[in-house]
Amino acid sequence: MLYRKFGKTGIDVSVLGFGCMRFPVVDKEQNKIDEPKALEMLEYSLEQGVNYFDTAYPYHGGNSEPLVGKFLQGKAREELLIATKMPVYKVEKYADFMDILDEQLGKLQTDYVDFYLLHALNKNSWEKSKDNDVFRFIDEAKKQGKIRHIGFSFHDQLPVFKQIIDEYDKWEFCQIQLNYMNEFYQAGMEGMRYAADKGLPIVIMEPLLGGKLTKNITPDLQAIWDQSEEKRSPAEWAFRWLLNMPEATTILSGMSTMDQVKENIEIVSRTDANCLTRQDREIIAQARDYYEQRTAVNCTLCQYCMPCPAGVKIPSIFNLYNNAAMYDSHESASRWYQQMIENNVDASQCIDCEQCEKACPQNLEVRRHLREFHEKYAGEKPEKTLSNDYPQR
C-alpha cells in the first residue's frame, strides 16, 4: 500500500481510503447493510494497509457509522484513522453541534474522531454554520479531545470553495469531488491546487463517478482503452489519472464487493505520482471526449438561469439529463427526478416565462430541453430510492 503525508499533521495516510457509503446491502435496501460482507471487506482492507475509513451521519440511512463502530471493536485505536462528518443541515442552534457529535461518537463506539468534516458545504450551509458559531464548536470539540483534525467536504462552485478556505485559517484538510470527467466541476482542479497551495491535504471523493466510469463500457469506448499496450480496466484508468497528481492525498472509493476492494488495492499498490505517459494522457482525453459527445444538453451549470420564478431546479434537471445520456444511468435519473416531482421543483412547474432562456449564456432552448426530459423520466414513482447514488456529473 502506498502512503502520503497528510499535510501538516504529518500522519501517513493510505492513498486508498475506504468510503463507507456503498456497502453491500440486503434486498437492495440501502439502509440494510449486509454486515458480514461489509465487515469482511473492511477487515481485508485493513490487513492490506488501508488505514483511512470515511463515513458520515446519513450514509446507509444512518447505519454506516454503527457498522464502522463494530469494525473498530477489539482493535488498537491508533491502527486506523476514522473520518466522519457533521451534518450541518441538521444544526439549528449552537448546542446541536456537540449533541450530534456525541451521538456520532456513540454510534462509532469511540472517544474521538481522527478527521472530522463539516459535511457537503455550500454557500448557504456555510453561512448558516457561521451564524451558529461553528468555529467556537470546533475549538471546544478539539479542546475536549473529541476530534483530532478538522476539515470540510464540498458541493458548490469554485468561488465558494475559495471563500470557505480563506475565511477560516484552522482548516487541516478538505474533501472534493474529482475525476477525469470533473476537472472543472465544483472545486475542480483549480480548487485542488488552490487548497494545496494553502498547505491543505486533499481527500478525493467520486474517483469513479459513483461507478459510472466503469459501467456500460461500449465497444467504441473499449477500443479507446485498448490503444494502450498495457491493458488496464476502466477503474485503473480513472485511479491512475488521480494518482498521477501528488496533491491528491487520499482517494476514497465506495466499494460494494470484495472484488472491487481487491482490484482497487492492487491498482493503488503499484501506482504512484507522475505515473501517466503522454500516450496515457491522450487516451484519457479521448475517453473524456467520448463521454462528452453523448451530452444531452450543453449546460455548464453556471446557474445564470436561477432562481427560476416557478421554482424549477433547471441546472439539477440538466445535470440528471446529461448523466443519463453519458453514462446510461437512466434508472437513477428517473428515481432522482421523482424526488424533484414530489418537491414541486420539476419541469412541469415551468410557466413559460422565458426568463431562463434570456439569461442563458449558452443560448439553450431551456424550455424545450425541460419538456424532453420530463417526457422521458416523469414515469410512475418507483418503489425504492437510491439514497446513496448521488446524481453527480
Q: Judge if 23 and 136 occupy the same domain.
A: yes
Q: Judge if 280 and 393 occupy the same domain.
A: no
Res 63: pLDDT: 97
Question: For the chain, what is the domain count?
Answer: 2
Contact 165, 156 (CB under 8 A): no
244 found inside a domain = yes
Q: Judge if 249 and 330 occupy the same domain.
A: no
End-of-domain residue from the set 285, 311, 327 = 285
78 found inside a domain = yes
290 found inside a domain = no
- In one letter, which amino acid is 306? M
Instruction: Give the C-alpha separation, 302 to 50, whole Å.
Output: 38
Q: Judge if 169 and 272 occupy the same domain.
A: yes
Which three three-digit cell numbers place residue 224?
479507446
Q: Judge if 233 and 324 occupy the same domain.
A: no
117 found inside a domain = yes
CA neighbours within 13 Å on the CB side: how many for 176? 34
Say which CATH number the domain at 220 has.
Answer: 3.20.20.100
291 found inside a domain = no
Q: Judge if 321 and 276 occupy the same domain.
A: no
Mean pLDDT for all residues in the chain? 93
End-of-domain residue from the set 233, 260, 285 = 285
Q: Judge if 181 and 326 occupy the same domain.
A: no
Model pTM score: 0.86
127 found inside a domain = yes
Residue 178 CB partners (closer than 8 Å, separation 6+): 187, 188, 189, 192, 204, 205, 206, 207, 242, 248
Which three three-digit cell numbers place residue 310?
416557478
**DSSP states of 205-261 as a string?**
E-TTTTTTTTSS--HHHHHHHTTSSS---HHHHHHHHHHT-TTEEEEEE---SHHHH
Domain extent for 225: 3-285
Q: Judge if 64 and 193 occupy the same domain.
A: yes
Q: Judge if 24 and 136 occupy the same domain.
A: yes
Torsion of CA 26, 29, 31, 33, to 10 degrees: 20
Residue 114 CB partners (closer than 8 Å, separation 6+): 81, 82, 83, 148, 149
64 found inside a domain = yes
325 found inside a domain = yes
Q: Judge if 133 and 168 occupy the same domain.
A: yes
- In one letter, which amino acid is 270? R
Q: Which of 324, 307, 321 is nearest to 374 (CA)?
A: 321
End-of-domain residue from the set 285, 315, 338 = 285
Q: Judge if 274 and 320 occupy the same domain.
A: no
Q: Judge if 228 and 307 occupy the same domain.
A: no
pLDDT in tens, the chain (393 residues): 999 999 999 999 999 999 999 999 999 888 999 999 999 999 999 999 999 999 999 999 999 999 999 999 999 999 899 999 999 999 999 999 999 999 999 999 999 999 999 999 999 999 999 999 999 999 999 999 999 999 999 999 999 999 999 999 999 999 999 999 999 989 999 999 999 999 999 999 999 988 889 988 999 999 999 999 999 999 999 999 999 999 999 999 999 999 999 999 999 988 888 899 999 999 999 999 999 999 899 887 778 899 999 999 999 999 999 989 989 889 889 999 999 999 999 999 999 999 999 998 888 999 999 999 999 999 754 333 333 343 344
